Structure 1
Amino acid sequence: MRVEMSVRGRIRAGDPEAFRQLFDDHARSVYNHGFRLTGDWSVAEDVVSLTFLEAWRLRDRVDVGGEAGALRPWLLGIATNVARNVRRATRRYAGALARLPPPEVVPDFAEEVAGRLRDRERLARVRTALAALRQPEREVLALCVWSGLDYAEAAAALGVPVGTVRSRLSRARTKLHKLVGAGRLDPPRGVVAPPGENTEPPGGRGQVSVDRTIAVRFAQENAR
């Protein structure tokens, strides 16, 4: 009798349908995590695409004997590394632009739209909060507080001991609470959260605005 392979086994074997399902199940979490680490909507979309391309490249490292739910920490770990690389590339690009003559200022009339202004204000609060933290603290805060991973899952995603995750998260929360208490920070909901609170934005039936075709292209080509 034929024994059906698990989802993890199919992903490891390069099954494009299993990889497409992986994208559908976790793209939103990867997108949210990418945005929290980069503070930029469009860069977060790049993080999603690059994360799933990298996941396809690293598919042979998936443990077929593990639990299906552990694929999310695995993906968020990849996304964390991708976000680091993207941020470094962005800094290099910004440095190159800074050496160029300043461009002519063109008014952005879209900023007059109330909805966009509200988005910019929320984004500014997120950036203010995250700017107060070191990169390792930002990453742990994003994984544990916003993405809802427990200490063990976050440790696996980052490749560090559980104790390191606990200490980084504690330092991050202490810093943010001090800033809030001093009136220097007014963070959005979830930046300073009680321990254990899951502030992952609610999922919806709609998919984030990233073309999953990019993420599964290699899988489809290899299946031909």
Structure 2
Amino acid sequence: MTGLHISDRQLWAEAVAGGESSFALLFERHVRAVYNHSFRLTGSWADAEDVTQQVFLAAWRRRSEVTLVADSALPWLLATATFAARGYHRSTRRWLAALRRLPPERSSGDDLAEEVVGRVDDERRMRRLLRAVNRLPRGEREALMLCLWSGVSYRDAATVLNIAEPSLRSRISRARARLARMLDTDAAPLTIEEEQA
């Protein structure tokens, strides 16, 4: 059995019973979404890797305590990533501040690989966007990140955030309007997907 047609709920139940292979399927199914969400939260690919590891470690350790929303583990995983990123950010804030005070490294003249340049540019744009997003009220920020950045349905996100779906839609609308005012539209690196139908 490939696991493609098995619901997250069934895989989670098998993982609770000790099925490591079922948990591995859940990991394969959702790791990219959690990693991308973590990058959007941290603005750093390396930090996103650390946060993603924390999320799946927490999922394994707490698998018997977790109640899935609908049949998907993704809303819980993304909400856990949000909390893990907050904790990660707090624990590394002083270290990063000290690192930023160091003088920049001098270039050796070697050309950087195209992938590295792309990743650095992604991080620069994401940090700019995160500065704006972090100025949003917490409820608007969480709704925007779950629904527009990570593709969680409005219904599932409303359940995870413990609010009514119309309230969630209102938060997203306000967040979009605030972001539009905060960011220079000509240079804005926004990659927020179109609102879900």
State the TM bucket, normalised to the shorter chain. Answer: 0.7 to 0.9
Matched, 1:12 2:11: no
User: What pairs up with 1:85-100 in 2 under 5 angstroms?
Assistant: 85-95=87-97, 97=98
Deviations 1:60-95 (CA, angstroms, capped at 9, x unpaired): 12348x743x21111111111111111111213335
2:65 maps to a residue whose letter is R
Larger radius of gyration: 1
Q: Following TM superposition, by how much is the alpha carbon of 1:183 offset from its aligned partner in structure 2, in angstroms?
A: 4.4
The alpha-carbon distance between structure 1 residues 105 and 144, as it changes in their structure 2 partners (threshold 3 A), is: closer
User: Which sits farther off after the overlay, 11-20 or 82-91?
Assistant: 11-20
Instruction: Provide structure 1 residue ranges, at least 5 long, that are not aligned to the other structure.
Output: 198-224
Give the alignment's TM-score, normalised by structure 2: 0.77
**Which residue type is aligned with residue 132 of structure 2?**
A
In structure 2, distance between residues paired with 1:118 and 1:16: 35
Give the one of 129, 138, 143 matched to 1:140.
143
One-letter code aligned to 1:145:
L
| Cα RMSD after superposing both structures | 3.0
| Partner residue, 1:149 | 152
- Distance apart, 1:110 and its partner CA: 8.1
1:143 Cα deviation after fit: 1.4
User: Do the aligned residues in 2 keep the contact of 1:129 with 1:187 (CA within 8 Å)?
Assistant: yes
SS of aligned partner of 1:165: helix
Equivalent runs, 1:42-61 vs 2, <5 Å: 42-61=46-65
CA–CA separation in structure 2 for the residues paired with 1:35 and 1:150: 20
TM-score normalised by the chain length of structure 1: 0.69
Counterpart CA distance in 1 for 2:54 and 2:66 is 18
Q: C-alpha deviations, 1:164-191, integer Å up to 9, x for none?
A: 43233222211222245x5474224x23
Equivalent residue for 1:78, pick from 80, 85, 96: 80
The unaligned stretches of length 5 or more in structure 2 are 1-8
| Higher RCO structure, 1 or 2 (CA under 8 Å, sep 6+) | 1
Q: 8 Å contact 2:70–2:156 — kept in the other structure?
A: no
In the alignment of these two chains, the number of paired residues is: 185
Instruction: Supply the distance in 1 between the matched residues of 2:28 and 2:142 (Cα, whole angstroms).
Output: 23
Task: Give % identity.
Answer: 36
